Amino acid sequence: MHYAPIPGYPELIRQIAFRSMENGIPSAIDEPIITAGCLEALYISLRSTCRRGDTVLIQSPTYYCFLQLLETLGLRAIEIPPIPEAAFHPPIWPTPCPPSTSRPACSLPITTTPIQA
């Protein structure tokens, strides 16, 4: 069995950077991060954008492991109920979202949430 290097295959990282640039997203060759899965990517994202005590918007229902991750990082969640016509569009959400405390948001496509699975 052959494992990939920890930072990811250099050629894959280069291709992701090039494709990002082709689509108008400025990206240096060494900026993309390859993760072992969604939870690791979410962990890295939350660690780099939040501080303990911050509030994260999270689509509800969600997977329990996402809530456990927020708890582990000392973050609070504001659950956003599903509104099919709004998807994950902030201006239509009924929940008040204080701008000073809300930073990132975690969303899953509606077909993968526990309610649809």
The answer to whether residue 30 is domain-embedded is no
Closest of 6, 100, 114 to residue 65, by C-alpha: 114
List per-residue pLDDT tens for the chain, 117 residues long: 667 667 778 898 899 999 999 999 888 888 888 888 888 888 988 898 888 988 888 877 788 888 899 999 999 888 877 666 655 555 555 555 555 555 566 665 555 555 554
The answer to whether residue 103 is domain-embedded is yes
Q: In what order do the strands lie in the sheet with 55-59?
A: 76-80, 55-59, 102-106
Could you list the residue range(s) of the whole structural domain that residue 83 is in? 51-112
The answer to whether residue 46 is domain-embedded is no
The answer to whether residue 27 is domain-embedded is no
The answer to whether residue 91 is domain-embedded is yes
Task: Provide the domain count of the chain.
Answer: 1
* Helix (H) or strand (E) run with residue 80 in it: strand 76-80
The answer to whether residue 79 is domain-embedded is yes
117/112 Cα distance (integer angstroms): 6
The answer to whether residue 97 is domain-embedded is yes
The answer to whether residue 63 is domain-embedded is yes
